[in-house]
Amino acid sequence: MSFITIIEQEIKEIINKLGYEIDDVVLSVSNRPDLGEYQLNDAMKLAKKHSVNPREIATKIAEKLSQDPRFTNVNIAGAGFINISISDDY
b/e code 51-85 from CB counts within 10 Å (16+ = b): eeebbebbebbbebbeeeeebbebebeeebbbbbb
Per the CB < 8 A criterion, the answer to whether 42 and 15 are in contact is: yes
pLDDT for the residue 31: 87
Angle at 39 between CA 36 and CA 44, to 5 degrees: 140
Chain segment 21-78, per-residue pLDDT in tens: 898 999 999 988 889 999 999 998 999 999 999 999 999 999 999 999 999 999 999 9
pLDDT for the residue 66: 95
Give me the residues paired with residue 72 across strands: 85
Torsion sign across C-alpha atoms 76, 67, 54, 32: positive
